[in-house]
Structure 1
Amino acid sequence: MTVADLVAVLFPHFGRLHVEFVWATGRTVRIQARGREPVAECPGCGTLSARVHSRYERRPSDTAISNQQTVLHLRVRRFFCDAADCGKRTFAEQIPDLTFRYGRCTMLLRTIREAIALALGGRAGARLTELQAIGLGKDALLRLIRALPDPEVHTVRALGVDDFALKKGNHYGTILIDMESRRPVDVLPERSADALAAWLTDHPGTEIICRDRARCYAEGADRGAGTATQIADRFHLWQNIGDATERLVKRLRSQWTPPPPEREVARLPEKPEGVRAQQSRERHAAVHALMDRGGNHTGIVAELRLDPKTVRKFMRAATPEELISGSPAGRRSILDDHAAYLIARFTEGCTSSDRLHHELIERGLAVSERTVRRFVHDLKKNNQPASRPPVPKAREVTTVVLTHPDNRTEDDRVTLKELRDRCPDLDAACDIVAGFADMLVHLRGQEKLDQWTTDTEASTLPELRGFATGLRKDWDAVMAGLSLHWNSGPVEGHVNRVKMLKRQMYGRAKPDLLRKRVLLCQ
């Protein structure tokens, strides 16, 4: 296989070249070649010319060979243009599908670089091109994106409209989607009725407009395409009723939340009797049991093998409490005289051992902080609040209400049934939400929306009444959204893609660059 044959296999886009020589210098493969055609076409008038003016060498880069940079040493001819009415006297030949004016790379390499720039942006794209031995700086990649022409906008019969944040909470743009091809057709730098109306005026023929319920888009659609059918997005309608339901559940939550128990007077734990007290009770019981059977002092001493004075003491005591010395709680504590004060303060809600220690110091008691801490610990341990069953949060209840009955877990069904039994307003709200969900899922707006709105406006639930009243303000679009199959799902998908592109550019991309990537990145 000759060198020319090898190059033809590796570089099929070199078909119009005559390859003369191939060599390598370092990590660069160099190919010397020249054009095959004897004539060239003038770029000004299209006249073919065979009269050569001069020759020079171009060195465009091409795709890599085995991760090595490839450079063409291309012998280019400059031709005379003999057309009298052409403004060009001379022109340089271009190899079709290979070179272009002022290009320092082949058309294939430029296409690859443009694809990398659109997919990854500046910094990430520059790192990838460096690994592929077709390196280009980040700024050059961004210039490639900006130099790309916008895609041609044909008549858009079904248009999707939604906003996205250029700077969240401060500046928003608008993305326009062809709902039939599901491709973006334009990106507007602002979210306003004027911008949408101007675009619709410049691009007539729109028959269907899928949008959210923002007033600016409704007004812009009326002004720019008054005859188009506007369709309110079902996702946003469901989101709106979900927000109203959550506000309702938060208001009703107190009806199924039990009141907190009243604080009881704190009490200290009962301390177990000591060993000596238990022994005294056992001996007293044994002595009196023998006395009941008729035993005398001498017999009891012999039976129990106790000291006579001890037996006489137990025989004289009517109850064992007379023999147990001191209090039944055992050893006295320095806090015994202040226990009532500490228990009262604990009942009032002061449970800080540090604060109670300072108060005792102020009362003139010299006590260690450790002793007070141990006392408070016993109070806390003996006065634990009674455990109450957990009360579901408002967000959890809202989620269960908005979930399809077939998708609820058994625990969710039981919980929702208990709450509906306890709260009639929540029971009514569940029925209203279920009716709206049936319309939304099965597209029964034409049949049921009017009656559902009337019944909801007559209910005693202000949150859902407000939602129903809001539907009246955008009635035609809501009716279309609950009756036609069109929805803004593709638009929401592209909004998420815009967010991905913004994160990829670290939030530093200007709107014009972001617009190019949104429209051209496949």
Structure 2
Amino acid sequence: MTIKTSEDVLFPGISVQVGSVEETSGELVVEAVAIGRPGRCPDCRSSARRVHSSYHRRLAERPLGPRRIVVRLKVRRFFCDRKSCQRRTSAEQVAGFTERHRRISVGLKERLQAVAVELGGRPGARLCRKVQMKAGRTLLLGLLQAPPVPTRAPRVLGVDDFALRRRTRYATVLVDVEASRVVDVLPGRTTEALADWLTQHPGAEVICRDRASAYSKAIRQAAPHALEVADRWQCAMRRLVVSPAQPGGIRREVPGSDGSPDPETVKGNTACQKSDGRAQVSETVRRGTRVIRRKLDCLNSNPQKIEGRIHRKDT
């Protein structure tokens, strides 16, 4: 692309004509005029033809080197001639440069959105001051938008709850396990919310879930053919895979004679599973307590016999 005018440097590919450029107190103030075709009414989408008036908008643009850029853009206001439309006038918008009710350009908004996604509010505002972009934490957080939700659920879907306010408000997060990204966030952790989402977004083949009964019921209702994989931590450090082909059938990994996991099929209801998990956790805690007690007994005895006693007991 050949650079011939100042518009090619400041506003490439945008229907804007630069009038003058002035430097005041470390800022570049650019006087510009919108020269594009008349737009459409934002309500009825009819083409505008008659000019009502014109006015200046003050927009912040991406910095140029160590200087901030402020654009005083002259735009037109058009009549809406459709009688059925309640709107009488509408302001001109420059494609790729301006948006309604915003005092920053589209290019600067995209750059600030990237900062907000990576750093958040206050850290992002500190970085913006360093790189000559004027933005506070409120503006950065306001630019954050929810990512688009795909029409189909991922093949391996993760379901878990988290606290918006501990012991008061909870929500459900849905994660694409294979891509390691968040798919959606549901209000609450009820059966109805998850069941509705799974109905509207089919395609999940494997669902890794929290062991809450609400999630299990929702999956049975909306995705009965999906393979349910229970969370390893929730299962007291043992993996349970619930198969829809065998109702009540649970595959559990237990150490074999050679120390490697040996799959064992166990039948039981939810209450028995929970009791088994609690018993295993309690046994692990008791075993660890006995080991610690033996170490303390060694420290309280003759120091010359500590190393030999620890070695014998560990063996």
1:229 Cα deviation from its structure 2 partner: 1.9
Identity of aligned residues (%): 35
Matching residue of 2:29: 30
Unpaired runs of 5+ residues, structure 1, are 264-383, 393-414, 423-522
User: How many corresponding residue pairs?
Assistant: 272
SS in structure 1 at match of 2:63:
strand
1:72 Cα deviation from its structure 2 partner: 1.0
Q: Deviations over 1:11-32 (max 9, x none)?
A: 425x311111111111110111
The 8 Å contact of residues 4 and 19 in structure 1, kept in 2 or not, is answered as no
1:149 Cα deviation from its structure 2 partner: 4.9
Matching residue of 2:5: 5
1:26-425 superposed matches below 5 A: 26-145=25-144, 148-156=145-153, 157-166=155-164, 173-193=171-191, 195-233=193-231, 239-240=237-238, 243=281, 246-247=284-285, 249-250=287-288, 253=291, 386-389=304-307
1:233 Cα deviation from its structure 2 partner: 4.4
Cα 1:32/1:180, change in 2 over 3 Å: same
1:204 Cα deviation from its structure 2 partner: 4.2
Matching residue of 2:17: 18
The 8 Å contact of residues 27 and 68 in structure 1, kept in 2 or not, is answered as yes
Q: Kindly provide the amino acid, as one letter, of the partner of residue 64 in structure 1.
A: P
Larger displacement relative to structure 2 (179-188 or 56-65): 179-188
SS in structure 2 at match of 1:206:
coil
CA distance in 2, matches of 1:66, 1:160: 45
SS in structure 2 at match of 1:387:
helix
1:91 Cα deviation from its structure 2 partner: 1.9
Relative to the length of structure 1, the TM-score reads 0.45
Q: Deviations over 1:467-509 (max 9, x none)?
A: xxxxxxxxxxxxxxxxxxxxxxxxxxxxxxxxxxxxxxxxxxx
Relative to the length of structure 2, the TM-score reads 0.70
CA distance in 2, matches of 1:213, 1:79: 59
CA distance in 2, matches of 1:261, 1:51: 94
CA distance in 1, matches of 2:46, 2:303: 99
Cα 1:196/1:40, change in 2 over 3 Å: closer
1:48 Cα deviation from its structure 2 partner: 3.0
The 8 Å contact of residues 57 and 73 in structure 2, kept in 1 or not, is answered as yes
Unpaired runs of 5+ residues, structure 2, are 239-253, 255-279
Q: Kindly provide the amino acid, as one letter, of the partner of residue 229 in structure 1.
A: L
